[in-house]
Amino acid sequence: MSTQAVGTAKEVFELLRDDLRAVERELARDSDSSVQAITEIAGYLREGGGKRIRPTLLLLAARALGYRGRGSVRLGAVVEMVHTATLVHDDIIDAADTRRGRPSANTTWGNSRCVLAGDWLYMQAFRIALDERNFKVLDLLIGLTQQMVEGELLQTETLGRLVSEGEYYDLIYRKTACLFRVSMRLGAVLAEVAEALEEQLGEYGRNLGVAFQIVDDVLDLTANEETLGKPVASDLREGKATLPVIHAYQHGTPAERAAIDQVLADQSFERVSHPEILAILERHQSVEYALAAAYHYADLARALVADLPESDERRALLWMPDFVVARDK
C-alpha cells in the first residue's frame, strides 16, 4: 500500500478513534458470557484483530448524515459480532487451520463448541440490536443473516466445479457484500434519512463489498502465506472457483480447462500444481481482469457518495474504495 494510502488510513482512524475504541469496549463487554468457553472463544477472535471495516462504514455513514448518538457504537459492535460469527462458521465449514496468521478457533476448541459459540454471537448481536427499539434495524439484520446463510449453502453446492460469473457475483454478494451494504444502511437508518438516500448508501456498501471480495480472491491466489496469514490458494484447495479462475477457464485451451477442472475436483494441488494454475492465469491476464472488475466496482461506490454534504466523513467514504483495492492482505 502506498505511503499516501497509509497516511490516509491513519487520518480515518484518528477521525473515528474514540468511536472505534468504544466499539471495542462494547464488543468485550457484550462477548462476556457465564459460559467460560464462549467468553474464551469470543475473546480469542476479538484479539485476532481485523480491519473493523464494517463498523467503520456504519460509523462513517451515520456521521456523514449528521448522526452523533450512541446507537452507532452499539450497532457497530453488532455488525462486527455478526461478521465474527460468520468467520467462526466459515472456518468450520472450510476445515480451516489458520485465520489471520493464528490457529483458527476450531483447532483449539473443536467444531462443536465453535458452532455453538458462533450461534451465541449471532443471538447476542440481535439482543443488542433490540435495544434500539427500531423494527427497521431488526428487519435489515434478519434479512442479512438469511442471505449469508443462503450464501454458505449455495457455495457448498458449487464446490468442486466451475461456476459462471453470475453465480460468482451472487455468492460474493451474499457472503460479503450484503454485510457491507447493511452496515451502510444501518448508519443511514440511525440518521433517519429518506429511503432513497438510505438505498443509495446501501448501494455504496454493496459495490465496495464486491470490490473487497474480488481483491480478497486475487490475493488468495497471488499473495504469500506470511502476508496473507493463511495458506495461499485456499479457495482452490476447497474447490471454489473465483473470478480470475473463471476468466482463465473461459479463455483457456482444452488442456488448461482440464487442469482447472482437475484442481477443483481434487480440491488439492496433488496432480496440478499451484504454479501451473498461476501460469494459466498469467497467460490469459486473468488477475488483471479481476482487478479491473474490482476497480470498476470501487468507482461505482465512490460515485454514490460524491454528492453527500462536504465533511471529513464524506472524504473518508470517498477514500475507502482506494483502500479496499490497494491493500495487500
pLDDT tens-digit series, residues 264-319: 999 999 999 999 999 999 999 999 999 999 999 999 999 999 999 999 999 999 99
Number of domains in the chain: 1
Supply the CATH number for residue 318's domain. 1.10.600.10
Does the pLDDT value for residue 249 go beyond 60?
yes
If you search the block for the grid coordinates 462477548, which residue do you land on? 31
pLDDT of the residue at 275: 95
Contact of 81 with 125, CB cutoff 8 Å: yes
What's the average model confidence in pLDDT over 145-163? 94
Q: Between the CA of residue 21 and those of 26, 32, 55, 76, 153, what are the distances in Å?
A: 9, 17, 11, 11, 35
100 CB burial (10 A radius; 0-12, 13-18, 19+): middle
pLDDT of the residue at 46: 85
Whole domain around residue 298: which residue ranges? 3-326
Nearest CA to 169 out of 211, 219, 218, 222 is that of 211
Nearest CA to 286 out of 210, 222, 206 is that of 222
Contact of 252 with 260, CB cutoff 8 Å: yes
63 CB burial (10 A radius; 0-12, 13-18, 19+): buried
What's the average model confidence in pLDDT over 52-80? 96
CB atoms within 10 A of CB 306: 9
pLDDT of the residue at 101: 74
Task: Report the distance separating Cα 46 and Cα 121, nearest Å.
Answer: 12
Contact of 290 with 297, CB cutoff 8 Å: no
Which three-class secondary structure state does DSSP give residue 95?
Answer: coil
Q: What is the pLDDT of residues 101-118, one digit of tens each?
A: 788 898 889 999 999 999
pLDDT of the residue at 7: 52
| pLDDT mean across residues, the chain | 92
Q: What is the DSSP letter of 308?
A: S
pLDDT of the residue at 3: 43
Does the pLDDT value for residue 83 go beyond 70?
yes
Q: What percent of the chain has pLDDT over 70?
A: 97
Residue 60 confidence class, pLDDT cut points 50, 70, 90: very high
pTM of the predicted model as reported, rounded to 2 decimal places: 0.93
pLDDT of the residue at 257: 98
Alpha-carbon torsion, ordered 296, 300, 306, 311, to 10 deg? -80
pLDDT of the residue at 297: 98
